[in-house]
Amino acid sequence: MRVTKTELEGCFILEPKVFEDDRGYFMESYNSEMFNDIIGRKVTFVQDNQAFSTIGVARGLHYQIGEYAQAKLVRVIQGKVLDVAVDVRKDSVTFGKHIAVELSAENKKQLFVPRGFAHGYVVLSKTAEFFYKCDNLYNKNAEGGIIYNDRSLNIDWILPHDDLIISEKDLVLPSLENASL
19, burial (CB in 10 Å: exposed 0-12, middle 13-18, buried 19+): exposed
Query: In the annotation, is 62 catalytic?
Result: yes
Catalytic-labelled residue, pool 25, 62, 119, 148: 62
DSSP class of residue 41 equals S
Q: Which of 6, 11, 14, 62 binds ligand T46 (CB under 6 A)?
A: 62
Q: Measured on CA atoms in the order 143, 137, 15, 131, is the torsion positive or negative?
A: negative
Q: Which of 8, 10, 14, 60 binds ligand T46 (CB under 6 A)?
A: 60
Name residues contacting ligand T46, limited to 101-130 (CB under 6 A). Answer: 119-121
Whose CB is nearest to ligand T46?
138
User: Residue 53 belongs to what H/E stretch?
Assistant: strand 47-54
The residue type at 150: D
Are the beta carbons of 153 and 86 closer than 8 angstroms? yes
Which of the stretches 22-30, 38-46, 59-67, 151-159 binds ligand T46 when contact is defined by CB under 6 A?
Answer: 59-67
Query: In the annotation, is 132 catalytic?
Result: yes
* Cβ-based nearer residue to ligand T46, 35 or 121: 121
Binding of ligand T46 by 49 (CB under 6 A):
yes
Binding of ligand T46 by 180 (CB under 6 A):
no
**Closest distance to ligand T46 from the beta carbon of 159 (Å):** 16
Give the binding-site size for ligand T46 (rule: CB under 6 A): 10
CA distance 63 to 120: 9
DSSP class of residue 152 equals T
Q: Measured on CA atoms in the order 104, 63, 48, 15, is the torsion positive or negative?
A: positive
Q: Which residues bind ligand T46 (CB under 6 A)?
A: 49, 51, 59-60, 62, 119-121, 138, 167
